Amino acid sequence: MHARAVSRRSIATAALAAVVLVAAATSASALAGSASGRRSPERISGTWNLVFADEFGGGSLDSSRWHTCFWWATTTCSIEPNHEQELYNAADVSVSDGLLHLRAQKRDVVAWNSTTYHYSSGMVMTGGRKGVKPPGFTFTYGYAVARVRVPRGKGLWPAFWLLPASYSSRPEIDVMEILGDSPSIQRMNFHYVKADGSRGDAGLTWSGPDFSAGWHTFGVDWQASAIVWYVDGVERWRFADPSVIPHEPMYLLANLAVGGSWPGAPDADTAFPSSVDIDSIRVWQRATPPSSTTLVPANATWRYLDDGSDPGAGWRAPSYDDSRWKSGAAILGYGQGSETTVVGYGADPSRKYVTTYFRDTFTAPDPTTLRGLRLNLRRDDGAVVYLNGAEIYRSNMPSGSVTAQTLADQATDDGNQTFTAGIAPSLLHAGSNTLAVEVHQATRDSSDVTMQLSLTATPIAATPN
């Protein structure tokens, strides 16, 4: 939801039958119509598999899929940094008449922290309860859609959104956010982390019909190259910067918040109880995932400089002469025991070299034929990656310029985690290209260094129409 300061998510999928979606221009009236049309699938072009569907046809919520609080809570929860006034609890979540009801009530309830909340409400999510209950469903790329009837009233804040299975607060894809005092405005938001670690936010508001007056579908098509928002089957916004688009599993959330910094407190005209009603939630994935081409394999041979010297800024450029550098295959480093190539750190184990430099030259096709690039990096402790002289990714490093003596931030993964990032193909050259990586230690007596990188490309031609 909007400007969230907290975290949540994660999942294990239930296999469902493959369903072919025929390319169609679906009208808003066909999707937002009477009960007889509620079971029709949302349609956008292409061939898709239905990987998750809950039509809420039983008499109770499917607890194997859904949890009724955020990942950090078992019974009651709220998002305090947003100054929300509701306490989420299972009693305000119900299933009847083929619908999921998330109800907000004006009543005093005591929370886990002994705070008294003056409103209670309902939420559901498929991320599970960390360490207690496994995720009910996660997915990477796909079309998530919900058919919803929202309430009207100041201070009411229904939402349908996605969060990462890593239980981080970002990236966050807000499929639908509607404030009850402006029920004809759909707010579509994306909150992400930039390559340098800073936060980015993008969004669009779209004025439509009074969404509280009937049923409407809200969907998002999340792919490697773009995120596209739909209202009643019609595209309303597109975000297309693949360098910050998520490439990790995410899970589903739906909730009805009350009050908070954004919507404000309910007023005397806000009706209680109120509910957001959900007819169905579905996730589709493309039947034929785009194939990828490896540009730099994980076991590539790299040139490296491990003598403690500072090569200057020119070392990142394709024209730099690295012929006197050593060479070896990845994994490169020392101290882990899994290295293919062991690099040096100097004569004094208590004052090891801060920075080790790596370069690799590879061949790429015409970048206009590529849909996206995916970078995979293992690093210990921190690293900055450059493509053809331009910085494309920074991990566990301070912002600003770096030198051979710049220390990394403290790392908790010890080089055993693979970090991924989407890279814009426009940074490539048709033909020869150069990747340059500098790996920095957090302390000069650090026990190990790790560097392993791979780069893959997804061609446009491989994506279904």
Condensed to tens digits (0 to 9), the pLDDT of residues 178-236 reads 999 999 999 999 999 998 889 999 999 999 999 999 999 999 999 999 999 999 999 99
Residue 11 lies in a domain: no
**DSSP letter for each residue of 224-246:** SS-EEEEETTEEEEEE--TTTS-
238 located within any domain: yes
* Whether the predicted pLDDT of 13 surpasses 70: no
Q: Is 172 a catalytic residue?
A: yes
Give pLDDT, residue 414: 66
State how many domains the chain has. Answer: 2
Q: Domain for residue 439, yes or no?
A: yes
pLDDT exceeds cutoff 60 at 465: no
- pLDDT at 80 (0 to 100): 83
Which secondary structure element, helix H or strand E, spans residue 423, and what is its range?
strand 419-423
Beta bridge partners of 49: 285
Please check the confidence at residue 267 and state whether its pLDDT lies above 80. Answer: yes
Closest CA to 305 of 327, 338, 276, 337: 327
Cβ–Cβ contacts within 10 Å for residue 465, how many? 6
Residue 23 pLDDT greater than 60, yes or no: no
User: Is the predicted pLDDT of residue 105 greater than 60, yes or no?
Assistant: yes
pLDDT above 80 for 150: yes
Give the pLDDT of residue 288: 67
Note whether 229 and 260 are same-domain residues: yes
Please check whether residues 305 and 352 belong to one and the same domain: yes
What is the percentage of the chain residues whose pLDDT exceeds 90?
A: 75
Does 311 share its domain with 341?
Answer: yes
Strand-strand pairing, 341-342 and 332-334: parallel
Range 1-11 average pLDDT: 34
Q: Looking at 242, 270, 286, which one is the last position of a domain?
A: 286
Instruction: Provide the pLDDT for residue 113.
Output: 87
Please say if 235 is a catalytic residue.
Answer: no
Rounded Cα–Cα distance for residues 310 and 354 (Å) = 10
Higher pLDDT, 289 or 38: 289
Residue 137 has pLDDT above 90, yes or no: yes
- Is residue 275 domain-shared with residue 392, that is, in the same domain? no
Q: What does the pLDDT read at residue 41?
A: 40
Please provide the distance, in angstroms rounded to a whole number, between the alpha carbons at the two ends of the chain: 31
Single residue among 256, 286, 316 that ends a domain in this structure: 286
pLDDT tier at 43, thresholds 50, 70, 90: low
Final residue of a structural domain among 266, 286, 306: 286
Q: How far is CA 254 from CA 215, 216, 273, in A?
A: 16, 15, 18
Whether residue 13 lies inside any domain: the answer is no
Domain that holds residue 59: 28-286
**Same domain (yes/no): 45, 173:** yes
Is pLDDT at 363 greater than 70 in this prediction?
yes
* pLDDT tens-digit series, residues 404-440: 999 999 766 666 788 999 999 999 999 999 999 999 9
- pLDDT tens across 45-65, in order? 777 889 999 999 988 999 999
Q: Is there a domain that residue 319 lies in?
A: yes
The residue from 84, 86, 177, 438 that is catalytic is 177
Q: The whole model's pTM is what?
A: 0.58
pLDDT for res 27: 29
Q: Give me the CATH number covering residue 181.
A: 2.60.120.200
* Highest mean pLDDT, choosing among 2-16, 25-39, 311-325: 311-325
State yes or no: pLDDT of 257 exceeds 90: yes
Average confidence score pLDDT of the chain: 87
Shared domain for 279 and 381, answered yes or no, is: no
Residue 273 lies in a domain: yes
Whether residues 239 and 127 fall in one domain: yes
The reply to whether 319 and 438 lie within a common domain is yes
- Catalytic option among 42, 84, 86, 172: 172
Across the range 123-141, mean pLDDT stands at 93
282 and 300 belong to one structural domain: no
pLDDT average, residue stretch 126-152:
94
The Cα 22–Cα 432 span in angstroms is 41
Residue 373 sits in a domain whose CATH number is 2.60.120.260
pLDDT digit string, tens, across residues 288-325: 655 789 999 999 999 999 999 999 989 999 999 999 99
- Asked whether residue 383 falls in the same domain as residue 447, the answer is yes
| Strand bridging mode 199-207 / 185-193 | antiparallel
pLDDT at 463: 34
Per-residue pLDDT averaged across 7-24, rounded?
29
pLDDT for residue 72 is more than 50: yes
Check whether residue 250 and residue 232 sit in a common domain: yes
DSSP code per residue over 194-221: -TTS-EEEEEEEEE-S-GGGS-EEEEEE
Asked if the structure places residue 10 within a domain, the reply is: no
pLDDT at 195: 86
Same domain, 105 and 123: yes
- Give the per-residue pLDDT at 412: 66
**Contact between residue 340 and residue 330 where contact means Cβ atoms under 8 Å apart:** yes
245 occurs within a structural domain? yes
Return the pLDDT at 131. Answer: 85
The whole-angstrom separation of Cα 308 and Cα 129 is 46
pLDDT of residue 287: 77
